[in-house]
């Protein structure tokens, strides 16, 4: 996890802008506390705050290519960099062991084919690359938007690029999320989609495979790829299906270095796992059982409701959102990250993405047919960068930790999203994520493998959401909620809880630019607004908690 800050499209001496870039970059330093670097040219500036995970000794950025005028700043990890480097080594003299240097090599070999070679890259990334000789820049973001990236222009027309919005507030009158799976070439002028998998269309996958074995093989490969690290790492373990599978697979490879540098055993051989919850929460009990079966060195973090409530202002500031379900789930994750950091761990594996791919949220039980089911999974994946990816990334990055998400590995996605939607869809006698459960039969206890879906904000303890609602009821009056559209004309909050988060957000991010980057629309159990139409009861009971799905959740409201 790192941060990048770029300034482009300016003329003249960069001294004043260089100081401005350093100050803006400093606002993101929590993401990369290990080192700072800056490049300042006559037409571009790149600043970088580094969290050193791969090539700790020589991977400082910005990186320069074999042509020193090619400069790169990256927030990310390129999991298949060794394979790409082997193919490029004859033409490009690699000077570091950084996984990110391969992006420079790809650019120098095929400078006008970025939309092609980006599809050869398997990783999570947001980068800015500047070519002095052509006065050209490339800006790109990974296919699913695991890494955050924002752009904006100031009143002089200069383009600013940053990993977090907070660096752009007060500088850019307009701020935008850079779209996942896109690349902006300054010689083209607009972001262009480079990632267009066939599985997005229902007709391309209907009647496809329904065998669970390829799922198991592809996820095992993804986890092994993503254990690439030169520093201590761990796994998040809520005790739910997704995180338990990731932890079990990580355990298989944790004693062997992924990098082939001659070492047979990692210098951090014991795999640690972390769970958080209120006293006696469902997740803590389940995580304890999963950890015992998997064999991780397990750590339980018990927080109190008051500790969570006290953290809300900082959670909103770091997450840069007022979305209700995101804040509910991010608060315990933010508290857990601080404890993980205290143990010297800099990278964690997490289970985000499985519910979107396999239709794991409980509202998917109401999908009217296979096409509707598949289209909703695609919609969920398209918006994941505003929700779970944002939560996992920024909750951890607040304390200088990188979160990796093997379920969103692009090679795994191609396998999982090509399955027959009819076979993935929950139906009578078939649980949500049935095919994923069957794929990993035998590696987890049955009580974990077949545990009902609990959204993270529910699983940490049902009292957490209830207490947030009670707090909002005390802090926000009926009159304030009635006039919400007057105070917040853009995307006005619909509940007192949403009003509370929006008020905190406004303190840190005044004005309209940041508001437009936050998602809006009704949701039930984390659905998109489109899925509200699946059941007449959804509109009346819309709440992002999984407990809102009556007749499915064991402890429905």
Domain positions in the chain: 3-196, 200-473
Taking the C-alpha atoms of residue 522 and residue 528, their distance in angstroms, rounded to an integer, is 7
Taking the C-alpha atoms of residue 464 and residue 452, their distance in angstroms, rounded to an integer, is 19
Residue 409 corresponds to which tokens in the numbers above? 């590995």
Taking the C-alpha atoms of residue 526 and residue 515, their distance in angstroms, rounded to an integer, is 20
**Residues carrying an active site annotation:** 2
Do residues 49 and 32 lie in contact, with contact meaning Cβ atoms separated by under 8 Å? yes
Residue 403 forms beta bridges with which residues?
348
- Residue 400 — left, alpha, or beta (φ > 0 → left; ψ -120 to 50 → alpha)? left
What is the 8-class DSSP label of residue 440? T
Below-70 pLDDT ranges, the chain: 1, 255-269, 453-461, 524-525, 539-557
Say what the pLDDT of residue 535 is. 82
Taken in order 461, 390, 490, 525, is the CA torsion positive or negative?
negative
Give buried/exposed letters for 417-452 (b at 16+ CB in 10 A, else e). Answer: bebbbbbbbbeeeebbbbbbbebbeebbeeebbebe
Residue 300 forms beta bridges with which residues?
275
Say what the pLDDT of residue 259 is. 43
Residue 273 forms beta bridges with which residues?
235, 298
Say what the pLDDT of residue 262 is. 47
Say what the pLDDT of residue 521 is. 79
Say what the pLDDT of residue 106 is. 98
CA 9 to chain centre: 29
Pairing relationship of beta strands 70-78 and 63-64 according to DSSP bridges: antiparallel
Q: Which fold has domain 3-196?
A: 3.60.20
Q: First and final CA of the chain: distance in angstroms?
A: 38
Residue 133 corresponds to which tokens in the numbers above? 């000789």
**Predicted confidence (pLDDT) per residue in 428-485, tens digit:** 788 999 999 999 999 999 999 998 866 555 556 678 999 999 999 999 999 999 999 9
Say what the pLDDT of residue 428 is. 79
Whole-model pTM above 0.85? yes
CATH level 2 (architecture), domain 200-473: 3-Layer(aba) Sandwich (3.40)
Taking the C-alpha atoms of residue 457 and residue 465, their distance in angstroms, rounded to an integer, is 7
């Amino acid at each position: 996890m790192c941060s990048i800050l770029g300034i482009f499209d300016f003329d003249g001496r960069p001294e004043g802008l260089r100081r401005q870039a350093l100050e803006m970059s400093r606002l993101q330093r929590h993401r990369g506390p290990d080192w700072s670097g800056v490049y300042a040219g006559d037409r571009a500036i790149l600043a970088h705050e580094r969290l050193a995970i791969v090539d700790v000794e020589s991977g400082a950025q910005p990186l320069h290519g074999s042509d020193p005028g090619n400069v790169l700043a990256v927030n990310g990890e390129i999991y298949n960099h060794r394979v790409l480097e082997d193919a490029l080594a004859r033409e490009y003299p690699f000077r570091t062991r950084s996984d990110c240097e391969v992006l420079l090599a790809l650019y120098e070999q095929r400078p006008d084919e970025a939309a092609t070679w980006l599809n050869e890259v398997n990783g999570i990334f947001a980068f800015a690359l500047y070519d002095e000789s052509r006065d050209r820049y490339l800006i790109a973001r990974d296919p699913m938007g695991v890494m955050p990236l924002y752009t904006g222009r100031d009143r002089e027309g200069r383009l600013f690029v940053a990993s977090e919005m907070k660096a752009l507030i007060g500088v850019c009158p307009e701020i935008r999320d850079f779209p996942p799976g896109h690349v902006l070439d300054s010689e083209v002028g607009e972001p262009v989609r480079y990632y267009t998998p066939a599985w997005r269309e229902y007709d391309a996958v209907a009647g496809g495979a329904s065998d669970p074995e390829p799922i198991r093989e592809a996820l095992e490969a993804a986890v092994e790829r993503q254990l690439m690290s030169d520093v201590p790492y761990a796994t998040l373990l809520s005790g739910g299906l997704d995180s338990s599978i990731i932890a079990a697979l990580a355990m298989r490879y944790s004693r062997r270095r992924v990098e082939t540098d001659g070492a047979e055993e990692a210098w951090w051989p014991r795999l640690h796992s972390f769970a958080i919850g209120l006293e006696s929460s469902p997740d803590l009990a389940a995580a304890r059982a999963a950890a015992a079966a998997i064999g991780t060195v397990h750590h339980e973090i018990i927080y109190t409701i008051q500790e969570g409530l006290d953290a809300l202002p900082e959670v909103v500031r770091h997450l840069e959102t007022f979305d209700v379900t995101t804040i509910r789930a991010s608060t315990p994750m933010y508290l857990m990250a601080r404890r993980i950091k205290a143990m010297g761990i800099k990278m964690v594996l997490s289970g985000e993405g499985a519910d979107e791919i396999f239709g794991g949220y409980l509202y998917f039980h109401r999908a009217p047919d296979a096409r509707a089911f598949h289209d909703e999974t695609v919609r969920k994946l398209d918006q994941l960068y505003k929700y779970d990816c944002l939560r996992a990334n920024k909750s951890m990055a607040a304390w200088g930790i990188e979160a990796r998400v093997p379920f969103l590995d692009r090679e795994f996605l191609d396998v999982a999203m090509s399955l027959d939607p009819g076979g993935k869809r929950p139906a009578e006698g078939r649980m949500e994520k049935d095919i994923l459960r069957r794929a990993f039969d035998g590696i987890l206890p049955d009580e974990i493998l077949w545990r009902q879906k609990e959204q993270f904000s529910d699983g940490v303890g049902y009292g957490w959401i209830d207490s947030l609602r009670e707090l909002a009821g005390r802090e926000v009056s009926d009159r304030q909620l009635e006039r919400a559209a007057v105070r917040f004309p853009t995307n006005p909050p619909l509940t007192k809880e949403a009003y509370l988060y929006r008020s905190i957000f406004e303190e840190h991010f005044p004005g309209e630019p940041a508001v437009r980057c936050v998602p809006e629309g009704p949701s039930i159990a984390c659905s998109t607004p489109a899925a509200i139409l699946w059941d007449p009861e959804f509109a009346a009971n819309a709440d992002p908690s999984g407990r809102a799905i009556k007749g499915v959740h064991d402890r429905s409201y």
